[in-house]
Structure 1
Amino acid sequence: MSPPSGVGAETEEKAVETAWRIHGAVGEWTARVDAKAAFALTLESAAAAGIIALSGSGNIFADLHGWGARSLLWAGSAFILIGAVFAVLVVVPRLRAPRMQDEASGNFVYFGHLMHREATELANSLRRTDTVLPVLSRQLIVMSKIVWRKHRHVQLSLAFFTLGLLLVLIAAVLA
């Protein structure tokens, strides 16, 4: 596949260079959202540990009186745990293993595809500069969808955590 008519090799090279810069930026966004998820999971784990510790004999949540305070504590705890699940979903590797081998012949940016390629065949693909931009463009779209979903999960994680913590604090006040 060659560049559209009127598009020279220099323009194609600039497009590929720009695509690689975007690829790097998306990679950085992925690392940042993973760090945010780790932070959220740390908060949620600490909150869960605190709730468990404060539920022991003689502590504030040990003898909650009335269904209202208990319900708030249980609901808050559940929301915190739901938040933790969303944080874990951010950092779970997305390998798309069942499709990798079938997709490998037309892709060479993602390591999951590369492991199914032969070195000489990959070298030939990389030499054909007209194949780089479409492959890289597809990868950018896939990566962007993954990063979007990760950011959304971090948002949900923190929202559930905040709501859960608020309910637990209200239960503590009512105790």
Structure 2
Amino acid sequence: MAQDDGVTNGVDTAWHLYASLSDWTGKIDSKASFALTLESAALAGVAALAGSGHRFGRLSGFWAVGGFWLGVFLLGLAAALAVAVVIPRSEGEPAPSSDDFVFYGHLRYWSPEKLATRLADADLLPVLSRELVIMSRIAWTKHRRVQQSLLLAVAGAFVLAVVGVTG
């Protein structure tokens, strides 16, 4: 199928955006892995300090014990959000007859022969545009979860620090 310059430029731009979104998503996943490492280390440190004879092991009183568990909960929730970022996800499963052929989860439904024919005849811009919107939604959700994870980790660490100093 012959494409005019406007469509060709649009397809080229769409592929560049696709590559950028793939790169950004990978960086978001790396940030989530970093956050999870910090949050896991903080939880391990808190567990070590909660043993008998250590600072958190000697807490008494409603506010001190409640603050301790609040801090642990916030750190645990932060870690759970970081894990949620790196769990593979998509925007639903297409029917095997779907016209989507950019995402590997969709490609697995195609036979090589049908895919070759479809690629030769396809107007790629609508397919790429649809995939870009889906990828952007996924990347934005991942981005927000990393932000929330880090904010909760800071809040949990702050609460635990206050409890450790005053409890």
Bin for the TM-score computed over the shorter chain:
over 0.9
* Gapped regions of structure 2 (runs ≥ 5): none
TM-score normalised per structure 1: 0.90
Q: Equivalences for 1:69-148 in 2 at 5 Å?
A: 69-95=64-90, 99-100=93-94, 102=95, 105-130=98-123, 132-148=124-140
Equivalent residue number for residue 36 of structure 1: 31
Distance 2:125 2:116 in 1: 16
Identity of counterpart residues, as a percentage? Answer: 41
Q: How has the CA–CA distance of structure 1 residues 143 and 96 changed in structure 2, closer, same or farther, with 3 Å as cutoff?
A: closer
Distance 1:144 1:35 in 2: 17
TM-score normalised per structure 2: 0.94
Distance 2:107 2:59 in 1: 57
* Gapped regions of structure 1 (runs ≥ 5): none
C-alpha displacement at 1:9, in angstroms?
1.3
Distance 1:50 1:160 in 2: 17
Distance 2:127 2:90 in 1: 18
Equivalent residue number for residue 61 of structure 1: 56
Aligned residues: 167
Equivalent residue number for residue 40 of structure 2: 45
Root-mean-square deviation (CA, aligned residues, Å) is 1.7
Q: 1:167 aligns with which of 148, 159, 166?
A: 159
The residue type equivalent to 2:129 in the other structure is S
Q: How has the CA–CA distance of structure 1 residues 89 and 137 changed in structure 2, closer, same or farther, with 3 Å as cutoff?
A: same
Q: How has the CA–CA distance of structure 1 residues 113 and 15 changed in structure 2, closer, same or farther, with 3 Å as cutoff?
A: same
Residue deviations 1:16-39 (CA, integer Å, cap 9, x gap): 000000000000110010001001
The answer on whether the counterparts of 2:29 and 2:86 sit within 8 Å (CA) in structure 1 is yes
